[in-house]
Amino acid sequence: MPLSIEVLDLGLNNIGSLVNGINSTGDHKVRVINNGNESQGSDLLIIPGVGSFGAAMEELTNRDFTETIYKHHELNGRILGICLGMQLLTENSEESPGISGLGLIPGKVQKIPNSWGSKVPHVGWDGITLSNNNPLKNTGEWNTKDFYFVHSFRVVAEDPSNVLATTRLGKYDFVSAIHSENIIGFQFHPEKSSIAGKNLLSDVIEWI
Amino acid sequence: MAKVRVSPTILTNGISIVKGTEFNNERTVGSFTAAVNLFAMRDVDELTILDVNASREKRHIDVNLVKLAADSVNIPLCVGGGVNDLFTFEKLLRAGADKIVVGFGAIERPELIKKLSQRFGSQAVVLSIDAKTENSLEAATLSGTLPVLNKNIIDLAREGSEAGAGEILLQTISLEGTMRGMNNNLIEQVSSAVPIPIIAGSGASNYEDIYQAICSGASSVSAGAIFQFTEHTPKGAREYLKSRGMETRISY
């Protein structure tokens, strides 16, 4: 089923790979928008992200995206947050003290401690373990594939029901994907995760 | 825990791909797009593209070249060459790079690493440090195109890590392109000195070399000559590492 999809351009990263990834899942109407007032409403709003929390929230504000996101959310539109985009969905981040996130998922963002026993940033391919009540179809598949991570901070979810997937890092697990009724967030980059990532995006499109 | 990575490394002079030895005498060895497409088809862990002439020609790696590569692949891309300001860094990110290597730029502007990591996040910033020879920890360069710094490499690594670099690309000039083996002693010392991942490069001649570099502390191995001039392949490397008990990426 072809969807209407809007991708927010924060000016900080390339969305080419993401648009290509989405287009490979079907004949959708994908629009990249630079400003909130370009939004025409959509089935799915994608918040990509590279950069620091503070810089990204500043761009969201400057480009009038914050209102677009809240309006879309109120109308029960679906949202997909990727990497920093997932972190922006929470309330705040240690990376940029004093700056509020979108607050759509209760929780905060903290630095991955060096004491966990892994190199930080967490860079490279890693597996995920999906939680039991997740909205995606091919859970068995995703639990056996690797996806590309590149981050120094991780989300600490306040409500366990928002945890979609976890990944082990050193001694502990961190939240590698989150969800709520109409939101999905991935800490990793599905658009940079080769075939596994492409197939996962297909599942997300199905969920919509 | 992130799986170990093998990153085929393409060196370019801005137009074609080149290969030399000891950061010198590069000759053209092929077409850029052909090399990128080949590695993309082989589903490698990560692709590294470095413009080796950029610093000395006082320019940066061509943004269009990076866009060309990014549009062809759906795997991570690490690029570098002559990057010494935030504006260029941002352009390269927008063109599709996931991580950007900074070397010489960090000497010219000591605050550069800090500013880049604050704006774009540490995970996008890779600091390049080169040992001049495999015998010494004292002599170093950044980007290899400059007079020797005569700084202790471990100190440089620590400073870079504290300033906010996300990874260190660690090379040894005297080994580069020679396939004489890697500088495992250096890899071990730098890796244990900083909490950030080390990408080790220079000198890999076979799969065992790659394995040993990772045993010495590298999170990723950057390799050029071995994949361009021998029968070794990135897939073969992954299979070898797996057979030696390492966690490698599950691929198709």
Q: What is the DSSP string of B102-148?
A: ESHHHHH-TTHHHHHHHHH-GGGEEEEEEESSTT-SS-EESTT-SS-
Average pLDDT, chain B: 89
Nearest to B23 by CA among B188, B140, B198: B140
**What's the pLDDT score for residue B195?**
96
**What's the pLDDT score for residue B145?**
58
Nearest to A150 by CA among B189, B197, B205: B197
**What's the pLDDT score for residue B106?**
83
Label residue A64 left, alpha or beta by phi (over 0 means left) and psi (-120 to 50 means alpha): left
Q: What is the mean pLDDT of residues B177-190?
A: 93
pLDDT by residue (tens digit) across A19-58? 988 998 999 999 999 999 999 999 999 999 788 899 999 9
- Residue B93, chain A, CB below 8 Å: the answer is yes
Q: Is the pLDDT of residue A14 over 80?
A: no
A191 is catalytic: yes
With CB atoms and an 8 Å threshold, state whether B2 touches A118: yes
A83 is catalytic: yes
Q: How far is CA B208 from CA A46, A84, B172, B191, B205, in A?
A: 43, 37, 18, 19, 8
pLDDT by residue (tens digit) across A96-124? 999 999 999 999 999 999 999 999 999 99
Q: Rounded to whole angstroms, how far apart are CA atoms A44 and B156?
A: 46
Q: Is the pLDDT of residue B156 over 80?
A: yes
3-state secondary structure chain A: CCCEEEEECCCCCCCHHHHHHHHCCCCCEEEEECCHHHCCCCCEEEECCCCCHHHHHHHHHHCCHHHHHHHHHHCCCEEEEECHHHHHCCCEECCCCCCECCCCCCEEEEECCHHHCCCCCEEEEEECEECCCCCCCCHHHHCCCEEEEEECEEEEECCHHHEEEEEEECCEEEEEEEEECCEEEECCEHHHCHHHHHHHHHHHHHHC
**What's the pLDDT score for residue B112?**
95
Alpha carbon of residue A70 to chain centroid:
16
Residue B143 binned pLDDT confidence (cut-offs 50, 70, 90): low
**What's the pLDDT score for residue B146?**
62
**What's the pLDDT score for residue B144?**
60
From the candidates A83, A95, A151, A179, which is the catalytic residue?
A83
Enumerate residues 6+ apart whose C-beta is below 8 A from B183. B131, B134, B172, B175, B200, B202, B203
Enumerate residues 6+ apart whose C-beta is below 8 A from A193. A125, A146, A147, A148, A200, B74, B75
**What's the pLDDT score for residue B252?**
64
**What's the pLDDT score for residue B142?**
65
With CB atoms and an 8 Å threshold, state whether B96 touches A14: yes
- Residue A119, chain B, CB below 8 Å: the answer is yes
Q: What is the mean pLDDT of residues B124-145?
A: 80
**What's the pLDDT score for residue B139?**
64
Nearest to A107 by CA among A145, A58, A64, A162: A162
Q: What is the mean pLDDT of residues B96-110?
A: 86
**What's the pLDDT score for residue B29?**
73
pLDDT by residue (tens digit) across B210-231? 999 999 999 999 998 898 888 9
With CB atoms and an 8 Å threshold, state whether B195 touches A114: yes
**What's the pLDDT score for residue B167?**
97
Q: Is the pLDDT of residue B7 over 70?
A: yes
Q: Is the pLDDT of residue B39 over 90?
A: no
With CB atoms and an 8 Å threshold, state whether A20 touches B43: no
The interface pTM score, or ipTM, of the predicted complex is 0.91
From chain A, the residues in CB contact with B197 under 8 A are 119, 121, 123-124
Q: Rounded to whole angstroms, how far apart are CA atoms A38 and A17?
A: 22
From chain A, the residues in CB contact with B122 under 8 A are 121, 152
From chain A, the residues in CB contact with B167 under 8 A are 121, 123
**What's the pLDDT score for residue B148?**
63
pLDDT by residue (tens digit) across A131-188? 988 888 887 889 999 999 999 999 999 999 999 999 999 999 999 999 999 999 999 9
Q: Rounded to whole angstroms, how far apart are CA atoms A163 and A131?
A: 7
- A residues 38-57 closer than 8 Å to B (CB): 50-52, 55
| Percent of chain B's residues with pLDDT above 90 | 57
Closest CA of chain B from A76, distance in Å: 30
**What's the pLDDT score for residue B24?**
78
